[in-house]
Amino acid sequence: MGHPIHYADLATDRVVRLFRRDLVRYGGTDDHGEVEISSGKMGTLASRLQHFSFWTYDQWLKKLQRYTTVQAEQWFEAGRRPSYLKLLANGPLRFFREYVLRLGFLDGAVGLQLATMAAHYSFMKQARLWALHHARMQSQVEEVLELSTADRSICATTHPTGAQPPVRPTRVDDADMKPAAILDPKFRLYSGEHRQATSRDAG
pLDDT of residue 102: 92
Tally Cβ neighbours within 10 Å of residue 10.
Answer: 19
Residue 134 contacts residue 31 (beta carbons within 8 Å): no
Instruction: For residue 196, list its beta bridge partners.
Output: 187
Q: What phi, psi does 181 have (nearest 5°)?
A: -95, 145
Flag whether 202 is in a domain: no
pLDDT of residue 162: 55
Distance between first and last Cα of the chain: 88
Rounded to an integer, the average pLDDT of 82-88 is 96
The most confident of 82-86, 175-179, 189-193, by mean pLDDT: 82-86
Flag whether 105 is in a domain: yes
The four Cα atoms 15, 21, 25, 28 give a dihedral, to 10 degrees, of 50
Total number of domains in the chain: 1
pLDDT of residue 124: 96
Flag whether 125 is in a domain: yes
- How far is residue 89's CA from residue 91's CA, in Å, rounded to a whole number? 6
Report H helices in the chain: 8-12, 57-77, 84-96, 108-134, 138-158, 199-202
Flag whether 154 is in a domain: no
The pLDDT-based confidence of 13 (bands split at 50, 70, 90) is confident
More confident residue, 72 or 194: 72
The pLDDT-based confidence of 114 (bands split at 50, 70, 90) is very high
Q: How far is CA 38 from the centre of its chain?
A: 44
pLDDT of residue 100: 95
pLDDT > 90? residue 183: no
pLDDT > 50? residue 172: no
pLDDT tens digits along 29-79: 655 667 777 777 888 878 777 777 788 999 999 999 999 999 999 999 999
Specify the DSSP class assigned to residue 23: G
**What amino acid occupies position 36?**
E
pLDDT > 60? residue 106: yes
Flag whether 83 is in a domain: yes
Sign of CA dihedral 177, 180, 186, 187: negative
Flag whether 32 is in a domain: yes
H or E segment and range at residue 195: strand 193-196
Flag whether 167 is in a domain: no
Instruction: Give the range of the structural domain holding residue 94, as residue numbers without chain letter.
Output: 8-43+52-135
More confident residue, 193 or 85: 85
pLDDT of residue 189: 42
pLDDT of residue 161: 55
Cα angle: 5, vertex 10, 16; to 5 degrees: 120
Flag whether 162 is in a domain: no
Mean confidence (pLDDT) of the chain: 76
Rounded to an integer, the average pLDDT of 120-134 is 95
pLDDT of residue 4: 79
- How far is residue 114's CA from residue 117's CA, in Å, rounded to a whole number? 5
